Amino acid sequence: CLPQSSLASPSQYPSVKVTGFFQADAGWFHQDAANIVAVGDIQDGADFRRARLAATGDVAENVGYNVEFDFGFPGRPSFMDVWLEVRDTAWLGDVKIGHFRHPIGLGGLTSVKELTFIERGLPFAFLPFRQIGAMTSGADEEAGRTWALSGFRFPTDAFGGQIGDNGGYGLATRVTQVIAEDSNGGVVHIGGAYSLIDPSNDAVRYRSQPEFFIAETGGAAFVPAGIPSSVPPFVDTGVIATNKSHLFAAELATTSGSFHAQSEFIHAMVNRFGGSTVGFSGVSAQAGYILTGEHRPYNRKAGVLGRVVPNSNFGKCGYGAWEIAGRWSMLDLNDADIRGGRLNTSTLGLNWYLNKHAKFQFNYIHAFLDSPVNGDSDANIFAMRAQVDF
Amino acid sequence: CLPQSSLASPSQYPSVKVTGFFQADAGWFHQDAANIVAVGDIQDGADFRRARLAATGDVAENVGYNVEFDFGFPGRPSFMDVWLEVRDTAWLGDVKIGHFRHPIGLGGLTSVKELTFIERGLPFAFLPFRQIGAMTSGADEEAGRTWALSGFRFPTDAFGGQIGDNGGYGLATRVTQVIAEDSNGGVVHIGGAYSLIDPSNDAVRYRSQPEFFIAETGGAAFVPAGIPSSVPPFVDTGVIATNKSHLFAAELATTSGSFHAQSEFIHAMVNRFGGSTVGFSGVSAQAGYILTGEHRPYNRKAGVLGRVVPNSNFGKCGYGAWEIAGRWSMLDLNDADIRGGRLNTSTLGLNWYLNKHAKFQFNYIHAFLDSPVNGDSDANIFAMRAQVDF
Amino acid sequence: CLPQSSLASPSQYPSVKVTGFFQADAGWFHQDAANIVAVGDIQDGADFRRARLAATGDVAENVGYNVEFDFGFPGRPSFMDVWLEVRDTAWLGDVKIGHFRHPIGLGGLTSVKELTFIERGLPFAFLPFRQIGAMTSGADEEAGRTWALSGFRFPTDAFGGQIGDNGGYGLATRVTQVIAEDSNGGVVHIGGAYSLIDPSNDAVRYRSQPEFFIAETGGAAFVPAGIPSSVPPFVDTGVIATNKSHLFAAELATTSGSFHAQSEFIHAMVNRFGGSTVGFSGVSAQAGYILTGEHRPYNRKAGVLGRVVPNSNFGKCGYGAWEIAGRWSMLDLNDADIRGGRLNTSTLGLNWYLNKHAKFQFNYIHAFLDSPVNGDSDANIFAMRAQVDF
């Protein structure tokens, strides 16, 4: 160890980097008559899906932080990744404390700036996602292995707070492994995760929009009566009284040359008060191909697919990168007397990466809803996104 | 074209600059009895009119961004300039996508940090201003010419969102030209603009405060019953049912030596449902003279007047720059059965620029209201502002 | 004076530094039955007590600014230190304009990032704290003397606004002096302060939580009926009708070697409408000892104790700094017919400073409430905080 005096007041700490991004979306809906009856007459529109500013950096050689807020969500500016991390502790790997994404769900853990489609797949509906808590994690990048274990309070509100004497705790754990790789960065990844949650409000509720979301938050002066002010959930369990729910997740991903694909399956098991245990499932499978020849890298530290970077930027000397992609997702929220509905979505995507930090995305989504209450119905959605991050 | 490899991972992108400013205002009101009846008993007060933080920069040689929020407005932090811009495209000039000020209105397009008076002139009431959309624009700085054409969704809420199947679109276009100039930076500028709007809520409403605004947002504990919690509109058309409104704008500006002046006229034409077309007009004319000899520059890229920079900063060695200014504005919101009122305001201003980035402003405003409902009335306002930007 | 031209467009202005911090707290409550009756059944929980981002810097040699918002408080992002300051004016010392902490209260003026305990002591309940206004201040650092005088509008809402014709003004002044010091940085500090307030809503209300606070702001879906959604005030005068209140404050502080201590007394005198004058008092005394040998410095510019900086950072080569501390506070809100209650709190604290910018705090708080309405009751609180600042 060097004497502290040789490190005295090192000018590099605290380091601060300001980062952020926004996603401006527009969407057009074509619903059949039965779908309008089932979920309401969804309006075309445009909106900022996310708009974030963050400060991130280190306050010492082994302690980092991130303070990030989203200004696009309804409600106050919402807490996103707000944490401090002590790295390389003796027994606990990296220890993170604050508000962050807990380790379950391949789609949920992929950066929202690096999604192949405009929204994550339907199984995302089950995840605890960001909660206030603590996590220990690590990666053996050479061996292609990651692990994480976290505890949190649940359900945390949009501002990072949570109270309750009656439970209010959860845990999550995830392990991933590269099972095959080639010398050009190609990998095959598998992973599994589990979460146990005892919500303080003794309630869980799973629901999902059809993989696209816009909202009008200007109030009654902006949206006439009877019109949904945002894309409504197509499937919804309603509130289920419980003090224990389990999530089981399995994931598979690969990237090889200009091709990449990933799939995940999540099953939720809810032990109801005075009733039977009910189970719900979601599954998603997607593939993409980058027409201009780039390779989508694998993030060995996080165990997820990474960012597509164009070989040549759009401008006087190039056209950026172009990618086509397809996805199928299914979410089944029916079990026993819970009739939340079953939703299938098929999506075609076209992505134009202007450079490393700006992209336009175009999705055509066909949503097929099988509602126990309202019967079968269809919606077709055309959606666009402009994104820049820094 | 240089090979991309020679540009590989250039450390300068993304670039990030944090900017911001605030305006802290205080105001004192003296209303005659008729004015108190007409608009309520306006309270003296102090408030932050605007307080903004932004991150701005480039993510590639030809792609820039701006992410700006205002924390001073009532409501959540409001979206201000949140956009990405692809510069120098082959056929479309600069292309901007996101939430920004659409190209109509000389006062509206002048930076709020560089206003001669505390608020913009009354014709501002007609403008669509910031909406979510896309714009193509360009400037021939040598020829002193600018042009812009934009499309947007309308009305966008404070968070950049807008929905509606029933219209909800608008366009705006503006052209400006320098028609005379001298070798010392003096110019004479003319401009014209037009906007067509089909609001999704089938409603337009024009209204305005008397060129000064403070608000108390602390709720009932802070403001007794019956007292306006913010400076109320003096004139107001109320909601007019329409699916088509037109705006026509003409502008004139000059700067020469230490003198500068500008004027604009805006006419709104509203095609009412099941009724006649109604028209409303606003006009504003102002002039300023910088006592300490500075010249107010002309911004050839934006086609507006720019920032006064003192020859010597306030401090041990100087007194900053001092400016006097006067303005007259008129807004007539009466036509046919719409009795919104007519407002004339006369303002005297004194500006003290401490340095390039800090100033104090003092306005004396005489507002003369001719209300069809409440008759004639007067209000006198003394207002102050402290502003710093970075 | 140098000619301005030699300073023309100096690249260093405006300077911008992004700073911020967060405090993530968790707390567990054990109340006796009488305390649950008196204040409700307080829930265990976790929350971000504060989470702030700020931009700060200079726009000229003698003009600085700070623009800071807090995202953790209930309500919109709240205005914190939002001001501009002209330094070293001829007759007025440093002149600050905007929203900031007005000069009264040793605990209130100590940086919230440098508190020995998780919350300030109970006398804090009386302070005007941050209001919109102006202040002149100065320090003779060699002589160990500071002075400040401010005027403000009162009560300012969370967004820096305030209106009202019926009063709405306040003033505060504070003087401090070092009365003894040694060559190792040890000092003995005394100070006194006074504030006079005429609230525009003709009301004052003093109340306090038991030196710990968490909140759940997610609404009814998160907190069952009948449960306090945040730690409630234990003592509360209710609204007192008045147009004049006085605060008198006395303070004492010392730091010597690894020992530091401070104490303050604040008395509030409220001239009630149509009633007698009532008086309330608060007192707080605390001491800390840094086990690892560090010295807590004295901030000669602000007249408060400063930050503990570890001799060696936590990591492979060190354990950071460890501190133990104790405090007693009392707040008596009973006088005449006002029966706000009397609260005594005793706190034991353990602080672990990982490095200059990250710390963990552990507090055990015993709160003894003497309520005229509900009788005597007790609550024991165990609280933790993780803090990082940059």
pLDDT at A223: 77
Q: Residue B37 is which amino acid?
A: V
Among the residue ranges A21-30, A223-232, A319-328, C58-67, the one predicted with the least confidence is: A223-232
Best of B25, B69, B388, B389 to disrupt the C interface (most C CBs within 10 Å) is: B388
pLDDT at A247: 98
Is the confidence at residue A85, as pLDDT, over 80? yes
Segment A185-213 shows an average pLDDT of: 96
Q: Is B141 exposed, middle or buried (0-12, 13-18, 19+ CB in 10 A)?
A: exposed
Among C60, C82, C203, beta carbon nearest to B355: C60
Q: What percent of chain A has pLDDT over 90?
A: 87
Per-residue tokens: B380: 């006198």
Domains of chain A: 33-50+102-389 (2.40.160.10)
A201: nearest CA partner in chain C? C222
Give start and end residues of each alpha helix (H) in chain A.
Answer: 33-39, 106-109
Let me know: does A154 contact A128? Beta carbons within 8 Å: yes
pLDDT at A359 exceeding the cut of 80: yes
Q: Given C16, C84, C162, which is nearest B18 (Cβ)?
A: C16
Nearest to A67 among C51, C216, C316 (CB): C51
Residue A194 to chain C, least CA–CA distance (Å)? 23
Whether the CA torsion A36, A41, A44, A48 is positive or negative: it is: negative
Chains that touch C (3 or more CB pairs under 8 A): A, B
Question: Quick check: A53 and B55 CB within 8 A?
Answer: yes
User: Given this model, what pLDDT does residue C2 score?
Assistant: 58
Q: Which of B76, B216, B312 sits opposite C157 (nearest CB)?
A: B216
CA-to-CA distance for B263 and B116, rounded, in angstroms?
A: 13
Beta strands B375-389; B17-31: pairing state: antiparallel
Q: Quote the minimal CA–CA distance from A44 to chain B in Å.
A: 6
- pLDDT class for B229, splitting at 50, 70, 90? confident
**What's the CA gap between A134 and A102, in Å, rounded?**
9
Dump pLDDT digits (tens) for B266-300: 999 999 998 899 999 999 999 999 999 999 999 99
ipTM score of complex: 0.95
- Sign of the CA dihedral A110, A113, A115, A117? positive
Contact A358 B60 (CB under 8 A): yes
pLDDT of A91 reads 86
The tokens of B154 are what?
A: 């309308």
**What is the pLDDT, as a whole number, of residue C225?**
77
Give pLDDT, residue C36.
96
Extract the tokens encoding A105: 């769900």
User: Greater confidence, C274 or B359?
Assistant: B359
Query: What element of type H or E holds C366?
Result: strand C358-371
Q: Summarize pLDDT for A109-155 with one digit per residue, the tens.
A: 999 999 999 999 999 999 999 999 999 999 999 999 999 999 999 99
Give yes or no for a contact between B29 and B381, defined as CB atoms under 8 angstroms apart: yes
pLDDT of residue C97: 98
Percent with pLDDT over 70 in chain A: 96
Closest to A337 in 3D by CA, of A266, A234, A247, A238: A238
> How is residue B275 written in tokens?
């009724």
pLDDT attached to residue B7: 53
Residue A4: pLDDT band with limits 50, 70, 90: low
Q: What are phi and psi of B125, to 5 degrees?
A: -55, -25
Place of tokens 């309006």: A43
Q: Is A35 helix (H, G, I), strand (E, B) or coil?
A: helix
pLDDT at position A6 is: 53
- pLDDT, mean of residues B17-32: 98
Instruction: Check residue C374 and give its pLDDT.
Output: 85
Within chain C, which residues score under 50 in pLDDT? none
Asked if pLDDT for residue A356 goes beyond 60, the answer is yes
Model confidence over A258-296: pLDDT tens digits? 999 999 999 999 999 988 999 999 999 999 999 999 999
Question: For residue C61, what is the nearest residue in chain B, using CA coordinates?
Answer: B315
pLDDT band at B75 (very low <50, low <70, confident <90, very high): low
Work out the number of other CB atoms within 10 angstroms of the CB of residue B226: 7
Contact yes or no for A227/A325 (Cβ under 8 A): no
Task: State the best of C13, C163, C169, C204 to mutate against chain B, taking most chain B CBs within 10 Å.
Answer: C163
Whether B4 shows a pLDDT value over 80: the answer reads no
Size of interface B-C (CB pairs under 8 A): 167
Tell me which residue in B53, B227, B358 faces C55 most closely, judged by beta carbons.
B53
Between chains, do B14 and A389 touch, taking CB under 8 Å as contact? yes
Hey, is C167 helix, strand or coil?
A: coil
CB contact under 8 A, B163 and A215: yes
User: Stretch B240-246: mean pLDDT, rounded?
Assistant: 96
pLDDT at residue A76, rounded to an integer:
67
pLDDT of B297 reads: 98
For A6, other C-beta atoms within 10 Å of its C-beta total: 7
Rounded to an integer, the average pLDDT of A245-254 is: 98
Is residue B76 pLDDT above 80, yes or no?
no
Helices vs strands, H then E, count in chain B? 2, 22
Confidence of residue A373 (pLDDT cuts 50, 70, 90): confident
SS3 C334: strand
Which chain C residue shows the shortest CA-CA distance from B224? C201
Across the strands, what pairs with B89? Answer: B93
For residues B163 and A46, what is the distance between their CA atoms, to the nearest angstrom? Answer: 6
Q: What value does the mean pLDDT of chain B take?
A: 94
- Touching subunits of B (3+ CB pairs, under 8 Å) are A, C
Token pair 């053996």: residue: A140
CB A145 within 8 Å of CB A159: no
Matching residue, tokens 């007609």: B126
Residue C56: name the closest of C18, C21, C94 by CA. Answer: C18
- Count the helices and strands in chain C (H runs, E runs): 2, 22
Among C158, C106, C109, C113, smallest CA distance to C132 is for C158
- Token pair, residue A318, equals 């190039």
A87-101 pLDDT, tens digit per residue, is 999 889 999 999 999
Query: Which are the contacts of A3, defined by CB distance < 8 A and separation ≥ 6?
Result: none
Half-sphere exposure of C382 (CA within 13 A, CB side): 2
In terms of Cβ atoms closer than 10 Å to its own Cβ (0-12, 13-18, 19+), residue A11 is exposed
